[in-house]
Amino acid sequence: EIVLTQSPGTLSLSPGERVTLSCRASQSFTSNFLAWFQQKPGLPPRLLIYGASRRATDIPDRFSGSGSGTDFTLTISRLEPEDFAVYYCHQYGISPLTFGGGTKVEIK
């Protein structure tokens, strides 16, 4: 099973700041089947990024993904008030599929 480790666990930031979230896999991916989700309280996850770097439909371009192999990153170029949420990475290439433990981005 591929274990995804996200860091940090929590980030305290102000609107307008740039944020970089990390997701490290326990083994290398042969294809970049890595996604990022945003989840707000009481709502299902929302797909932001798939294929490590492709934005999902209607996702603002302040969200970007990068990485390959075992190290992946989600960057939010400039935090908007609606971006404060929990972010999860997810690998969907090798069964069992797995999620990272999440990073909470909270208002400082």
Partner 1 sequence: EVQLVQSGAEVKKPGESLKISCKGSGYSFTSYWITWVRQMPGKGLEWMGNIDPSDSYKNYSPSFQGHVTISTDKSITTAYLQWTSLKTSDTAMYYCARHLVAVPTAPDYWGQGTLVTVSS
Q: DSSP for 33-79?
A: -EEEEEE-TTS--EEEEETTTEEPTT--TTEEEEEETTEEEEEESS-
Q: From the list 21, 74, 90, 105, which residue makes contact with partner 1 (rule: CB under 8 A)?
A: 90
Residue 70 or 99: the one with the smaller Cβ distance to partner 1 is 99
Looking at residues 59 to 88 of the shown chain, list those that interact with partner 1 (rule: CB under 8 A).
86, 88
Instruction: Work out whether 31 is an interface residue with partner 1 (CB under 8 A).
Output: yes
Are the CB atoms for 52 and 107 separated by under 8 Å? no
Q: From the list 22, 47, 55, 59, which residue makes contact with partner 1 (rule: CB under 8 A)?
A: 47
Closest residue by Cα to residue 78 from 58, 102, 61: 61
- Binding-site ranges for partner 1 (CB under 8 A): 1, 31, 33, 35, 37, 39, 44-47, 50-51, 56-57, 86, 88, 90, 92-93, 95-102
